[in-house]
Structure 1
Amino acid sequence: MTSSTPPRPGRLLGPADVRRLAESCGIRPTKQRGQNFVIDANTVRRIVRTSGIGVDDVVVEIGPGLGSLTLGLLEVASHVTAVELDEVLAAQLPSTIAEYAPDQAAHFNLVTADAMQVTELPGPTPTALVANLPYNVSVPVLLTFFERFPTISTGLVMVQAEVAHRLAAGPGSKTYGVPSVKAAWYAELRLAGSIGRNVFWPMPNVESALVAWTRREPPGDEAQRLRTFAVVDAAFAQRRKTMRAALSELAGSGPAAEEALVAAGISPQARGEQLGVEEFFRLGQFLTPAG
């Protein structure tokens, strides 16, 4: 990614623009779909700047909404592909780009679909993901795109602050859990700043934060990932239990869980919150699933 490229001049959406566009297409933001539209151009430019994208990047945006962030991304990136579930919002977006960024319209693709169901993307091969993710599905969407699009090597997402801290947490942290370990399989994640509630319309009831990442080589192949993730799910299903107790059902009856832990160099008395992704991976290779 290249962050030194000067942005192409364009118009970004302000509060009046967002409300006008919403009214013109009959949109009333709903909590069910996590619709909170960014109305502050400075926040959009901050997100784009913090993401580090440059002129060579092909960016995927999930949940573009009315296009606030989309316009900011088009100022900098080589190409933007947006994935939008809401058909009304998707129908409006090309017109917004034609009005506010006509010179960049040829560098934009739109996919009207549930992001969880997308298996391929039109246009150039994606290199980055930058998005204001719908808060109710942010973790599964992010993990799905990590899995399905390995060419996406860097990115930045805005999510609920509580989720951001979970994604970026390391072993031993109170917020460390299943999202932390599974995300770490694919990437190195870090907190990249907080976002005030007043930059959204309507104003959300929760705080927001930015999470940035850089993809890393995963510890193992797909079969090993599935085994590792099964161990992670079991370890955190009963957070207070030791690993020996937490893995008893996964490993079946008998000493299998304890033997696997010892073989992997992990204390049977350890708890899941103390283990990193490499240790979970190692454990998964020694554990024989029940049945």
Structure 2
Amino acid sequence: MTEPALLGPAEIRGLAAELDVRPTKKLGQNFVHDANTVRRIVELAGVGPGDAVLEVGPGLGSLTLGLLAAGARVAAVEIDPVLAARLPGTVAEHAPDAAGRLTVLTADALRVRAAELPEPPGALVANLPYNVAVPVVLHLLAELPSLVRALVMVQTEVADRMAAGPGSRVYGVPSVKLAWYGTARKVAAVPRSVFWPVPNVDSALVAFERGTPPAGADRDAVFAVVDAAFAQRRKTLRAALAGWAGSPAHAEEVLLRAGVDPRTRGEQLTVTDFARIAAAR
């Protein structure tokens, strides 16, 4: 089997011109045109022959071809109908042997359901639109229990928040909610020069491995506490959770029952601490 030819700058611009695609900020469209970057992403994702991979926002197909070159079966979710319609043709041209391993869904990744996919994917590998990166990852982890790992390219600031631990300046809602599902870590920076058009932000790769949520905890209940705790970051938990608990005094009672100092702030707590607070209510 011949290895699929990956897309370079000339192919990317040629496809964009053919489709009259003008990358939009609204959809967060920045297309990767560097084959070495694509190979690195696929390698870091640990994708190999027979793996079922979910790709979100394949765009013009750079990463799709890289995943297929590794032998994966790829379900690609693309919200732009013009790009979604062109992708099978691009794969047929550059990797005819791999065309049968691609499924394209014209859909919003924030609304994708497990039943729409050809099979349960084991990995998520994606260059995610920066404006919806965290909501997309959280939705897919909730909807697809089969996802045991992910490698996503996001804006560096988003990557920092996703991978932050308690006590970090950027630790917040995305950090805690991702920690519910497993462990996220920032693994590599990605230069702006590998994209077309060149974005005005830096990018990074975040790796994720699914773990086990806190035992006996209800996700929705825990996430409600997390949202309340970080709605006003500078407040103590006694004050921040007053609305959630009904009053500052009741919030203090719940916190003490959970073994948490009411004077603490949300950014000091682990997902397990938040689970104890939810249970103590």
TM, length-normalised to structure 2:
0.97
Shift of 1:218: 1.6
Does residue 1:169 correspond to 2:164, yes or no? yes
Match of 1:57 in 2: 51
Shift of 1:253: 2.4
Match of 1:144 in 2: 139
* Structure 2 runs not aligned, ≥5 long: none
Moved more, 144-153 or 50-59: 50-59
Structure 1 SS opposite 2:218:
helix
Moved more, 79-88 or 52-61: 52-61
Q: Is the 8 A contact 2:52 2:121 kept in 1?
A: yes
Match of 1:243 in 2: 237
Residue type at the aligned position of 2:158: V
Q: Is the 8 A contact 1:58 1:77 kept in 2?
A: no
TM, length-normalised to structure 1:
0.94
Q: Is the 8 A contact 2:239 2:248 kept in 1?
A: no
Match of 2:155 in 1: 160
Residue type at the aligned position of 1:175: V
Does residue 1:279 correspond to 2:273, yes or no? yes
Match of 1:33 in 2: 27
Structure 1 SS opposite 2:59:
coil
Does residue 1:134 correspond to 2:163, yes or no? no
Q: CA separation in 2, counterparts of 1:246 and 1:148?
A: 30
Shift of 1:80: 0.4
Does residue 1:268 correspond to 2:250, yes or no? no
Q: CA separation in 1, counterparts of 2:152 and 2:248?
A: 44
1:252-267 aligned within 5 A: 252-253=246-247, 255-267=249-261
**Residues 120-166 of structure 1: CA deviation (Å, up to 9, x unaligned):** 23322210000000111101001000100010101100000000000
User: Which consecutive aligned stretches of 4+ in structure 1 deviate over 3 angstroms post-superposition?
Assistant: none
Match of 1:201 in 2: 196
1:85 pairs with one of 79, 83, 92? 79
Q: CA separation in 1, counterparts of 2:212 and 2:138?
A: 15
* Structure 1 runs not aligned, ≥5 long: 1-6
Q: CA separation in 2, counterparts of 1:8 and 1:227?
A: 51
Match of 1:98 in 2: 92
Structure 2 SS opposite 1:217:
coil
Q: CA separation in 2, counterparts of 1:12 and 1:179?
A: 33
Q: CA separation in 1, counterparts of 2:110 and 2:167?
A: 31
**Residues 33-65 of structure 1: CA deviation (Å, up to 9, x unaligned):** 100000100000000011112223100000000
Match of 2:222 in 1: 228
Shift of 1:254: 5.8
Q: CA separation in 2, counterparts of 1:192 and 1:236?
A: 26
Match of 2:181 in 1: 186
1:212 pairs with one of 190, 201, 207? 207
Shift of 1:255: 2.4
Match of 1:4 in 2: none
**Residues 156-200 of structure 1: CA deviation (Å, up to 9, x unaligned):** 000000000000000000010000000110011111100000000
Structure 1 vs Structure 2: percent identity of aligned residues? 58
Residue type at the aligned position of 1:70: T
**Residues 5-57 of structure 1: CA deviation (Å, up to 9, x unaligned):** xx962200000000001111110111111000001000000000111122231
